[in-house]
Amino acid sequence: MIFFVEDLVGSTTPSGQEPVRRGSSSLLCCCLPSEPSERASRSMEAVARDLWPRAKLMERLVHCMAEGRAPRQGYALLLTTGGMNPLHRGHVQLLHQAEECLQKQGFVVLGAWLSPSHDLYLQPKARHLGTIGLSDKFRLEVARRATDSDPLVAVGEWECAQEDYWPDYPEVTEALQAELGGGIQEFEQLPGWSPGSSVTVFYACGTDHAEKCGLYLRGLGRPGTGLVVVPRLGDAVGKEKPASLVFVAEPAEGAVASFSSTKVRKAIAENDAAYLSEALSPQGAAFLLKPESWEQEQFESDFLKLMNVGAV
């Protein structure tokens, strides 16, 4: 059976629980709202804890408490958004590069989330590019499979869970900040934590996004947030502005720097399990190439898209 994909993220479980829709942005992402969105505020009231999974965050809290050392610059969370149609390890590595950058600056990163784009953003973009657009639930599923064993990166669903509109990256960042940035009860045990403490939410992106949206100037321009630009090898980068919490990470090197959605799609069409295992994970490759019957039924329309592309 031959399948094909374009920016995947998602996760389903044998229990039959469906992942909640979620999203991100890439082309239409240049406007930073000056005030918090009322829509976001209303949505945040209904956000369930599992829209920002905390299991890996909690493991890191235990480690930090065991070490007993307060970070020089405080605690941080990381977020990146994008179509992830399909996701590959390059997306995941971007967050690890950002973490390394923040560690050098004196922060301790407690957690990181990938946020795949909302269907209302991705599907029109895919049609414009003349390619398939996989559903947000399917992309979420692939992302969860690919990051299951990663100790840092989880998959956030808040973006895809929004009804009737797609939130752009500043609003997704705002949602994570509202959910965890102000602190939760478990944070009170962290070394150096005191009443009134908060966690800085850093948005991580590539150089093209940062340049197009003017992010080198002031980051997201909101209290409690920062920016980490993660370039590719050879990219020209802007200047860091530590006073504005704008930092530039080192580019990834090695095989992970060569992964691309185009190559992943080609590997799916060619039934190349070895490449997909390396570019995503063995679990991700198995899901794409040899899904269980219940998985095929749950994501029937997405697998049909992949088969049709593979047949062209």
pLDDT of 101-113, one tens digit each? 999 999 999 999 9
In this model, does residue 190 exceed pLDDT 70? Answer: yes
pLDDT band at 309 (very low <50, low <70, confident <90, very high): low
pLDDT band at 47 (very low <50, low <70, confident <90, very high): very low
Q: Which residues contact 280 (CB under 8 A, 6 or more apart)?
A: 8, 86, 87, 88, 89, 142, 145, 146, 264, 288
Lowest mean pLDDT among 127-136, 183-192, 265-274: 265-274
In this model, does residue 88 exceed pLDDT 80? Answer: yes
Lowest mean pLDDT among 6-10, 187-191, 215-219, 302-306: 6-10
In this model, does residue 5 exceed pLDDT 90? Answer: no
In this model, does residue 10 exceed pLDDT 60? Answer: no
Contact call for residues 116 and 160 (beta carbons, < 8 A): yes
Rounded Cα gap, residues 135 and 178, in angstroms: 27
pLDDT band at 25 (very low <50, low <70, confident <90, very high): very low
Contact call for residues 3 and 289 (beta carbons, < 8 A): yes
Cross-strand pairs, 115: 81
The per-residue pLDDT for 50 is 86
Rounded Cα gap, residues 193 and 80, in angstroms: 26
pLDDT band at 7 (very low <50, low <70, confident <90, very high): very low
Q: Which two tokens stand for residue 46?
A: 């209904």
Q: Which residues contact 68 (CB under 8 A, 6 or more apart)?
A: 191
Instruction: Give the right CATH number for 38-253 from 2.60.120.700, 3.90.1150.10, 3.40.50.620, 3.40.50.300.
Output: 3.40.50.620
232 CB neighbour count, 10 Å cutoff: 13
Cross-strand pairs, 75: 108
Burial class (CB in 10 A: 0-12, 13-18, 19+), 35: exposed
Question: Percentage of residues in the chain with pLDDT exceeding 90?
Answer: 73
In the chain, domain spans: 38-253
Please state, rounded to an integer, the average pLDDT across all residues of the chain.
85
Rounded Cα gap, residues 245 and 87, in angstroms: 28
Residue in the block written with tokens 């190439």:
289
Q: What value does the mean pLDDT take over residues 53-82?
A: 96
Q: Which residues contact 174 (CB under 8 A, 6 or more apart)?
A: 36, 37, 40, 222
The per-residue pLDDT for 143 is 96
Task: Give the three-class secondary structure for 161.
Answer: helix
Q: Which residues contact 237 (CB under 8 A, 6 or more apart)?
A: 207, 229, 231, 248
Say what the pTM is: 0.83
Q: Which residues contact 303 (CB under 8 A, 6 or more apart)?
A: 3, 291, 296
